[in-house]
Amino acid sequence: MKYLFLFLFLFTWSSIFALHVESHKDTNNVKQIEDMLELVDQQNLNLLKWQTIIKETREINNINQFKDHLKGYQMSVTKNKSHITFTKDTQETGGFNEQILLVKANMQNTYQVIYIIESSKTTTEVLEAYKKRMNTITSDLFTKNAQTFSCIEAWKNDIIDIVRFINIVNSTLKMSIIDETKENNFYTWTGYTKKWTDTIQQDEKEFNIQIAVRAGLGDRTNVTIGTPILINEY
């Protein structure tokens, strides 16, 4: 069966559909990013960015107090009718970009809280700061019901040997392939790895990783590796 999916780099807060995730552990999400970055190194790819998104629809009885608490993160604030956006960019100084979206849901005192962190940096300092930030954010803004998704985007100015590429992925992550497609110069794989504890279940099958490889103009090849997001509409 073909799974309808888009990766995180196509993320918009209005299109994400609710998912069933078996467990949520910030340490697992950090490991996911580390494993993805290892694949980038193994394949000699150029990293465009890594990204993690945490989201949860939750009850917030005192929204003004919650917003005041968010101001403590020292982020710039943008408001419109549908949501409030808190943004912080420290990537130029060796850090990462952060964004928090606060969206009013239909039920009273219910809001969707979305946290996005991303960077093109992979230094030890940045990754350690990322781990600490994940620990802080997950305990400070979310409950155990939050859902977390991670991905990396990379590229290579060359044609990738697809067979060798997926063999390395399978070997590194011990991945079992559930579904794969090939359309012109676009390849996708949906799979499951025991190295990551979070899973999504569909049609009685568990999966927790999706990969896309697209050959663009000339010899450039774009690669996305991530935990999947299923969506209701484009």
161-189 average pLDDT score: 93
Average of per-residue pLDDT across 111-127: 93
Average model confidence (pLDDT) across the chain: 83
Picking from 116, 163, 161, the residue whose alpha carbon sits closest to that of residue 141 is: 116
**Sheet strand arrangement including 97-104:** 76-79, 83-89, 97-104, 110-119, 46-59, 147-157, 220-226, 209-215, 186-193, 175-183
The string of pLDDT tens digits covering residues 22-70 is 334 456 788 899 999 999 999 999 999 999 999 999 999 998 999 888 8
Helix (H, G, I), strand (E, B) or coil at 134: helix
Predicted TM-score of the model (pTM): 0.81
pLDDT at 202 over 50: yes
Name the more confident of 138 and 90. Answer: 138
pLDDT of residue 9: 34
* pLDDT score for 93: 55
> Cα angle vertex 195, ends 192, 196, to 5°?
70
**How are beta strands 200-202 and 205-207 bridged, if at all?**
antiparallel
Q: How far is residue 4's CA from residue 188's CA, in Å, rounded to a whole number?
A: 11
Check whether 15 has a pLDDT greater than 70. Answer: no
Contacts of 143 (CB under 8 A, 6+ apart): 56, 58
**In this predicted structure, what is the pLDDT of residue 23?**
36
Closest by CA position to 48, among listed 195, 184, 152? 152
Which pLDDT belongs to residue 76? Answer: 87
| Higher local confidence (pLDDT), 74 or 151 | 151
CATH number of 8-226: 3.30.2030.10
pLDDT digits (tens, 9 = 90+) for 93-111: 568 999 999 998 888 889 9
